[in-house]
Amino acid sequence: MTTAPSTTTDDSPRSDPPTQPPTSARGAGSALRPLVLRLHFYAGLLVAPFLLVAALTGFLYAASFQAEKIVYAHELTVPVGDTKLPIGEQVAAARKAHPEGTLSAVRPSPEADATTRVLLSGVPGVDEDHTLAVFVDPYTGKVRGSQEQYGSTGALPLRTWIDGLHANLQLGENGRLYSELAASWLWVISGGGLVLWFGRRRAQRKVRGTSGRRRTLGLHGTVGVWAAAGFFFLSATGLTWSTYAGANIDDLRTSLDQATPSVSAVAGGEHAGHGSGAAAGGTEHGVGLDKVLAAARAKGLGDPVEIVAPADASSAYVVRQIQRSWPEKQDSVAVDPATGRVTDELRFADYPLLAKLTRWGIDAHTGVLFGLANQIALMALALSLVLLIVWGYRMWWQRGRAAAFGRPIPRGAWQQVPAHILVPLMAAVAVLGYFVPLLGIPLAVFIAMDVLLGEIAHRRGKRTYGTRV
């Protein structure tokens, strides 16, 4: 929420407006500055609470990966043994301990000290969107525990709860509007702050040795500039799975033939299917899990992998790589349960460009693409955003109640913007507002508020051309 510094030399609210209005002789940048400044002010003041919640919960989510390893160490790790048991025996041990539900998928132990996860769906007491993960010692077949699991990254209860808090405040679909609002405006506030910060004269950037509001402004601006690129990234990637903007992005990718493909799970190699099933009726089908896994290994699918059980009698097994860290492993194959023959395969290298970028962007946003370094970077960005918001509100407080809502955009300010800039700008804003509705609707409210404040000031005889907020 980078705010440009005041053009005055003290910290007191300015009471006398400039005597000369903007003129057409001013550059386009100078003409746009009052508009950018007011937008930055309103967005920073009214959207910042949503950004603050998103930053705090995002910080917790980035830290949850390491916390999960500690909290669930007993379930996730085992002493290294000599030889791992066949996958079929490990699944049988899990089903003996947990006969409820149906086999959904298996994640064989990817490392020497890691357990195998047997995923069961339709388990009583487990959310229908989740599975019950049964953790099996791959060397002894002993079940080390079970936990509810959510998502393709294998989130366990701690991380799942924090993820829900970050995404929707644990309020379901309606709660997702908060995070979409934050993502919709983060890039606008950051971009406006950059425009204001770099639009100042060189002499105005020197804030060393100052105190009060100017010192707060210097800290706010400097941190905002350094963190801006990260904020743009978080905003763009956050919108990809939001409710309204995310749906528009998906439609655009589909229209451009850039949607994420999926391997056909139709047994026998026919390509009329649309993907793998989510549930199966038994423990193993046909040739068995070990031969299915061997067929996938022969096609080059190394650990970590997930074996998805057939959805029905006409479906195939799907074996897919699930490594989201760099370099990503996202290849997948379909295996006929009757013959153990690979009937279809899909390589991540063959994904459309936008599908790859979306995958990389989401994984970096969620902290898995570059592992611990990624998570530390996200926590640093979250902390930066919290500080920026605190400093922004502090500057607003330091200004005093007399300037609580700043100064509205000067009457006629729009006329000072050259038409060749104003018309494309308004068209771009209209298009953005349509595709990102939680940007467009609040923007319309901000403009209406400022027009109202400007009219009130005009009626009181306080015609002003000042831009300080």
In a domain, 79, yes or no: yes
Query: Do 242 and 116 fall within a single domain?
Result: no
Q: By percentage, how much of the chain surpasses pLDDT 70?
A: 82
Q: Which two tokens stand for residue 115?
A: 């357990």
Q: Please say if the pLDDT value at position 165 is more than 60.
A: yes
| Whether pLDDT at 38 is above 90 | no
Per-residue pLDDT of 266-276, as tens digits, reads 876 443 333 33
> Which of 320, 350, 380 represents a domain boundary (last residue)?
350
- Note the pLDDT tens digit of each residue in 242-270: 999 999 999 999 999 999 999 999 876 44
Q: Residue 109, exposed/middle/buried by CB under 10 A (0-12, 13-18, 19+)?
A: buried
CB 243 within 8 A of CB 273: no
Do 404 and 433 lie in a common domain?
yes
Q: Which of 350, 383, 412 is the last residue of a domain?
A: 350
What range defines the domain where residue 77 resides? 73-155
The mean predicted confidence, pLDDT, of the chain is 85
> Is the model's pLDDT at 321 over the cut of 90?
yes
| Digit-coded pLDDT (tens) for 168-203 | 999 999 999 999 999 999 999 999 999 888 876 444
Residue 448 confidence class, pLDDT cut points 50, 70, 90:
confident
Q: Which of 366, 358, 167 is nearest to 254 (CA)?
A: 358
- The reported pLDDT for the residue numbered 278 is 36
pLDDT at 414: 64
The pTM of this model reads: 0.85
> In the chain, how many domains are there?
3
Task: Tell whether 468 is covered by a domain.
Answer: no
**In terms of pLDDT, which residue wins out, 20 or 306?**
306
> Which of 279, 308, 218, 180 lies closest to 5, judged by CA?
218
Q: Are residues 213 and 275 in the same domain?
A: no
| Residue 165 domain flag | no
The pLDDT tens digits of the residues spanning 398-414 come to: 876 445 555 555 555 66
Domain match, 297 and 239 both: no
Residues 247 and 269 in one domain: no
pLDDT in tens, 360-373: 999 999 999 999 99
Residue type, 169: L
Burial class of residue 225 (count of CB atoms within 10 Å of its CB; 0-12, 13-18, 19+): middle
240 shares its domain with 268: no
Residues 273 and 336 in one domain: yes
The average pLDDT across 59-77 equals 98
Average pLDDT, integer, range 143-170: 96
pLDDT score for 279: 38
Instruction: Give me the CATH number covering residue 122.
Output: 3.10.450.40
Segment 450-455 shows an average pLDDT of 76
Point out the domain boundary residue: 99, 124, 155: 155
The number of beta carbons lying within 10 Å of the beta carbon of residue 458 is: 13
